[in-house]
Amino acid sequence: MARKIEIYDTTLRDGSQGLGIHFSVADKLRVAQELDRFGVAYIEGGWPGSNPRDIEFFAEARKLKFKKAKLAAFGSTRKKGVRASEDTQVRGLLEVNSPVVTIYGKTSALHVREVLRCTPEENLAMIADTVAFLKSHGREVIYDCEHAIDGWKEDPAYAIACYRAAAEAGASRIVLCDTNGGSLPHEVRAATLAAMAAVQASIGIHTHDDSGLALANALASLEAGAVQVQGTMNGIGERTGNCDLTAVIPVAQIKCGWSCVPESSLRRLTALSRFIDGVTNQAPDPRRPWVGAAAFAHKGGTHVDAVRKFSSAYEHVDPASVGNARDVLVSDQSGRSNLLLKATELGIELDKDAPSTRAALDEVKKLEHQGWSFEDADASLALLLRRHIGKASAAPFSVVNYNVSVHGGDKDASCESTVTVKIGAKEFKTVAEGEGPVHALDQALRKALLKAFPKLKKVHLADYKVRVLAGQDGTSAKTRVVVRSSDGKRSWGTVGVSANLVEASLRAIVDGYAHALL
């Protein structure tokens, strides 16, 4: 049987401490349910003693049924000089009725002296008293040893005494925290082995990414014998973030052969990552290992040619194993293999030896040299390919001319656009106003097209990005506009480039509507 590794997810608590991360109660409930469906062992819901939102979350979470995960409330050891049974914060951890309570306490002698300002003996009593009190009320208690790795390096004997105080009082897991994120894998491994030799309780690991080593440190501890890894989805968290579970899980399960989540869940990992980005309103990191949009993207011609022959040439795993997909990029670095694979992706058949294929590739390279980029503009690329193989010789419409004017200024500025569109043998001239020149142009174009193509009512611009190329040219510099369009069910990207921002925008918008019609 595969070795079991417990996934302890602290996205809703430690993750919420990250820059720009905010969860509402409804957000937290949605995330908790999704994490449970995914199959993590523990979900840390928050710190009830720190804010009313987390108290409300636990009250609402009691109404839910978690099938796989145990819900944990987070808190700290009691205050010095106060019994655990009399500590308001500790009692609050019982009041939320979570089956698991995770508490943290000082493990570094330096922190005991300089932060808590108490004796080493009092700190040990705080740990043991709090764990025993919560345990006596029927809770599973997990003890997070704050600054465990640093504390062990400073004073191994005292760090181990802290581990033992928690374990002997009944903690089910002793979790070693690299709180400052500055330890190295060999140090984490050594600390894990020392902890395992000192206590009977199982060991867990909680790492931060301040040195870019959160994943490596977590794996070092797991390889040494830890049974639980704590982290967050997408690595969100304080400072540079926590250990990223979207990397830990596939590395542990696919590379190491350990069992972390149900096998079927792995294929939903990419979807879970993007769900978390959606809830937290974060732009997905395309270069995130395993689940990023670029994780299995291939651009170099020789790479693509090899992948076409056998995928493992430049892919360490099948992208589908984590719910991701291969993406072949077409650019000025492309060879025919890129173009052939990308065309297949787009549902277009190309003959690799046909002059039209070579002409299409030459045009792509020429346009890329001029500042175009098709990496996020598959629809524009599809139109280009169709034009070269004669599938779009009769375009559904063309823009004969257009005009955009801005009236007034400052507070009362308004924009108006006139567009003449040719559809078949007829020309249609329309006028529309908008919030800005590009919006006015889009409104006028839509107005003209809807008369002949009512299906475009469902199409709208979902995203609009502008990048200035060669900024040293100042206001005369070329601009690249990428537009994302959607009909509510699917979306597609188009691109336009020009020294005139409005012209670049029009090219991208026209391609977006043309793709929808074709």
Regarding whether 216 and 82 lie in a shared domain, the answer is yes
Quick check: 212 pLDDT over 80? yes
Identify the pLDDT of residue 451: 84
Task: Say which residue, 298 or 40, is predicted with more confidence.
Answer: 40
Same-domain status, 17 and 128: yes
Q: Name the band, by pLDDT with cuts 50, 70 and 90, for residue 410.
A: low
Q: How many angstroms separate the CA atoms of 401 and 379, rounded?
A: 23
108 part of a folded domain: yes
Q: Is the pLDDT of residue 311 over 70?
A: no
Confidence at residue 135, expressed as pLDDT on a 0 to 100 scale: 97
Identify each DSSP E strand in 158-237 by its residue range. Answer: 173-178, 202-207, 228-231
pLDDT band at 309 (very low <50, low <70, confident <90, very high): low
Which DSSP category does 479 fall into? E
Domain boundary among 410, 435, 452: 452
Residue among 71, 41, 40 at smallest CA distance from 276? 40
Within a domain: 197? yes
Mean pLDDT of 214-218: 98
Packing angle, helices 156-169 and 120-136, rounded to 10? 20
Q: What is the mean pLDDT of residues 243-257?
A: 97
Taking residues 133-157, report their average pLDDT: 96
Please check whether residues 161 and 206 belong to one and the same domain: yes
Helix extents (H) in 39-87: 52-61
Q: In which band, very low, low, confident or very high, does the pLDDT at 392 lie, cut at 50, 70 and 90? A: low
Q: Tell which of 230, 261, 292 closes a domain.
A: 261
Does 149 fall in a domain?
yes
Say if residue 222 is in the same domain as residue 367: no
371, amino acid identity: G
Same domain, 372 and 404: no
Q: Say yes or no to pLDDT of 305 above 80.
A: no
Decide if 343 is inside a domain: no
pLDDT band at 116 (very low <50, low <70, confident <90, very high): confident
**Domain match, 421 and 497 both:** no
Q: Provide the number of structural domains found in the chain.
A: 3
Q: Tell me which range, 205-209, 413-417, 437-441, is most confidently predicted by mean pLDDT.
A: 205-209
Is the pLDDT at 329 greater than 60, yes or no?
no
Q: 47 and 118 share a domain?
A: yes
Over residues 464-480, the pLDDT tens digits come to: 888 887 655 555 678 88
The residue segments making up the domain with residue 45 are 6-261
Least confidently predicted of 21-25, 29-33, 173-177, 386-390: 386-390
Tell the burial category of 347 from Cβ atoms under 10 Å away from its Cβ (0-12, 13-18, 19+).
Answer: exposed
Domain of 418, CATH number, reads 3.30.160.740
| Band of pLDDT at residue 301, cut at 50, 70 and 90 | low
> Residue 132 falls within a domain, yes or no?
yes
At residue 375, the pLDDT reads: 72
Q: What is the mean predicted confidence (pLDDT) over 235-246? A: 96
Does residue 293 form part of some domain? no
Give the integer Cα–Cα distance in Å for 490 and 500. 29
Cα–Cα separations (whole angstroms), residue 76 to 134, 197, 203, 325: 12, 25, 19, 43
Section 396-408 average pLDDT? 88
Query: Chain-centre distance of CA 102, in angstroms?
Result: 26
Those residues with Cβ within 8 angstroms of residue 52's Cβ, 6 or more apart along the chain or in another chain: none
431 and 361 in a common domain:
no
Instruction: Classify residue 300: in a domain, yes or no.
Output: no
Taking all residues of the chain, what is their mean pLDDT, rounded to a whole number?
89
Backbone angles phi, psi at 437, to 5 degrees: -60, -40
**3-state SS assignment for residue 73:** strand
CATH of the domain at 24: 3.20.20.70
Q: What is the CATH number of the domain that holds 510?
A: 3.30.160.340
Residue (of 199, 206, 98, 85) closest to 144 by Cα position: 206
- The secondary structure of 313-350, three-state, reads HCCCCCHHHHCCCCEECCCCCCCHHHHHHHHHHCCCCC
Lowest-pLDDT range of 56-60, 161-165, 298-302, 499-503: 298-302
The answer, yes or no, to whether residue 79 has pLDDT greater than 80, is yes
Please write the tens of the pLDDT for every residue from 346-367: 788 878 778 888 888 888 888 8
Q: What is the DSSP string of 103-158?
A: EEEE--HHHIIIII-S-HHHHHHHHHHHHHHHHHTT-EEEEEEETHHHHHHH-HHH
Q: Given a cut of 90, is residue 191 above it in pLDDT? A: yes
Structure tokens at 227: 């049974």
Following DSSP, what letter does each residue of 380-438 receive, concatenated? Answer: HHHHHHHHHTTSSSS-S-EEEEEEEEEES-GGG-EEEEEEEEEETTEEEEEEEEESSHH
Question: Is the same domain home to 254 and 383?
Answer: no
- Taking the C-alpha atoms of residue 144 and residue 104, their distance in angstroms, rounded to an integer, is 4
Assign 2 a pLDDT band (cuts: 50, 70, 90).
confident
Domain end marker among 233, 261, 289: 261
Evaluate if residue 247 carries a pLDDT over 90: yes
Same domain? For 363 and 235 the reply is: no
Instruction: List pLDDT tens digits, range 489-507.
Output: 888 889 999 988 899 999 9
Asked if residue 162 and residue 46 are part of one domain, the reply reads yes
Secondary element (H or E) of residue 88: helix 88-95
Distance CA 302, CA 304 (A): 5
Residue 58 banded pLDDT, cuts 50, 70, 90: very high
Same domain flag for 240 and 91: yes
For residues 72-101, average pLDDT: 95
